[in-house]
Chain A
Amino acid sequence: MLNYFERIYAARYFWWSLVKAELRNKYRRSTLGLLWSLLYPFLVTLLLVYVLGSIFKTNILDLIPFIYSGFIVWDVISGSFLYGAGGIINSEAYIKQFSHPLAIYSLKQTLVLIINALISGIGVFAWCAVVKPQNIPYMILTLPITILLLFLFSWSVTTLSGIINTKFRDFQQMIGLIIQALWFISPVYFETKVFINANLGYLVYYNPIARIMNLVRAPFIDGTPATGTDYLFVIGTVAVFFVIDIFLIKRNEKELIFYI
């Protein structure tokens, strides 16, 4: 396995050039370009805050950071499953020319998602700096580990999704349905108290997505790091996905070219 990661590292210039190409192409010929990564989640947040604030009669200012961060993190999580499903299939041209580890193509997708999230996150940082500047130190201290865990979670999912969908093309449709369901049972836009008040607290307790949301939100909204349980849940989830990925890669990587 160590040799596999060495080969991934050896191919770093190639996968990094793919990341840059994808980010460049996303907004090629667009006037605002990469600014959309910042502007889009902000504008969607304003819309959702107005609607959900009116429905749930919640203080709009309290909702802004909650929904803003939820949108950004959910984009990474759902994108890892859905966008990840096409990772290997869409890299056919490269796979047929050179034998790089297939995980570099899922790595590329993860990096595109994370870089987009970081650009979007500038808005969250700016909100914190203006409204809750006393929470900035917590945010800065916990940011590296949060980004690392989000990156590892995303990479494990893009790899899993990419391998399974290459062999079983119904996977992409099925995972789309599962993602829709996960959205409803995760505190993406609905606060935790909504689930607890509806006796659905277990959905928040046992849901790794809820735990990931806590890792991101707790420092800048509450001014505390996330709990040890949150970190353990997320690390455990990442570890499980990585074990599954290692199994899938060992069993399937060589023959996947025949299924592309």
Chain B
Amino acid sequence: MSNCFIDMKDLSLYYPSAPYNAKSLKELIFGIVKRKQTSIIIKDVQALKNISLHIEEGDRLGVIGANGSGKSTLLKAIAGIYPPVSGTLKTMGTIRSLFELSLGFDLHGTGRENILYRSYLLGDTPRTVKSKMQDIIEFADLGEFIDYPIKTYSAGMQMRLAFAISTTVSGDILLLDEAIGAGDAAFMVKVKNRVNEMVANSKILVLVSHDFETVKQICNRVIWLGHGNIIMDGKPNDVVESYLEKAYGKKAL
């Protein structure tokens, strides 16, 4: 029996509409007076529909699909952030995720202080952070700005720091969601190398990406999500080609 897996059976997840349909007193009164609906009713958004998926140790799973197809939701369901409404989800192994990297900075804190906060958020201890601090600072390559408040950083600098911190945390199951974003060319080379290292060190990878070349290079299996369903599950070249044919009406080069 593998000691690292992700197993989903008939998993469904929706975003409830209740938080967005809450009416203000003004809308309630106007609705009664005018005898008609004064605002648009938002329906529950079915993000994942009866997904059954088994991911074994050694799998490098790519997830592709159009915007809004449920890719990021799938990752967050695996990470335990969004709860499913039905079906089962079992995971075995420590989960480490790289998504929403730009969120969670303390803007008034320095880069060095934020290294501590974000590392602890991701499950590090003071001892492990101390051993990695210098590596993170060198990887982010921010020079003296590491001791400046984050609010003085550009978006690219924040992303470099976030990436530098997040990629030092290892785990059995690695979830990557379009994590490779802003950065200059030299930094992007470092990013690709670091991602390759992380992938090599993880037992399972689930990668959401629109970069099909990266998906084909790194992954041994790809699923195509559409409107919350798995449309296709198979070899990277086959699934990517089918997706591109459907999306653009042409074969991939």
Q: List the interface of chain A (C-beta within 8 A of B).
A: 11, 13-14, 16-18, 21, 24-25, 28, 92-100, 167, 169, 254-255, 257-259
Contact = CB atoms under 8 A, between A and B. Distances in A.
Given A13-B126, A25-B106, A93-B103, A18 B117 contact: yes
Contacts of B16: 255, 258
25 contacts: A14-B117, A21-B109, A21-B117, A25-B108, A25-B109, A28-B108, A93-B105, A94-B104, A96-B76, A96-B81, A96-B103, A97-B97, A97-B99, A97-B100, A97-B121, A98-B121, A99-B80, A99-B81, A167-B19, A255-B16, A255-B83, A257-B81, A258-B19, A258-B82, A259-B19
A63 B97 CA distance: 56
Given A13-B125, A97-B103, A97-B104, 18 more contacts: A11-B120, A14-B117, A16-B120, A25-B108, A93-B103, A95-B81, A96-B81, A96-B103, A97-B81, A98-B97, A98-B123, A99-B80, A255-B16, A255-B83, A257-B81, A257-B82, A258-B19, A259-B18
A254 B79 CA distance: 13
B233 interface: no
Contacts of B113: 21, 24
What DSSP secondary structure best describes chain A's contact surface?
helix
Contacts of A255: 16, 83
Contacts of A169: 22
A21 B107 CA distance: 11
B208 to A, nearest CB: 15
Contacts of B80: 99
Contacts of B76: 96
Interface of B: 15-16, 18-19, 22, 76, 79-83, 97, 99-100, 103-106, 108-109, 113, 116-117, 120-126
A50 B109 CA distance: 40
Contacts of B122: 97-98
Contacts of B125: 13
B120 A99 contact: no
Question: Which of A92, A167, A257, A258 gathers the greatest number of chain B CB atoms within 10 Å?
Answer: A258
Nearest to B126: A13
A100 B122 CA distance: 10
A187 to B, nearest CB: 36
A100 B80 CA distance: 9
Closest 9 CB pairs of A and B: A93-B103, A254-B83, A14-B120, A93-B104, A99-B80, A13-B120, A259-B19, A17-B120, A17-B117
B164 to A, nearest CB: 16
A17 B120 CA distance: 8
Nearest to B104: A93
Nearest to B82: A257
Question: Which of A24, A99, A169, A259 gathers the greatest number of chain B CB atoms within 10 Å?
Answer: A99
Contacts of A98: 79, 81, 97, 121-123
Nearest to A14: B120
Question: Which of A14, A17, A21 gathers the greatest number of chain B CB atoms within 10 Å?
Answer: A17
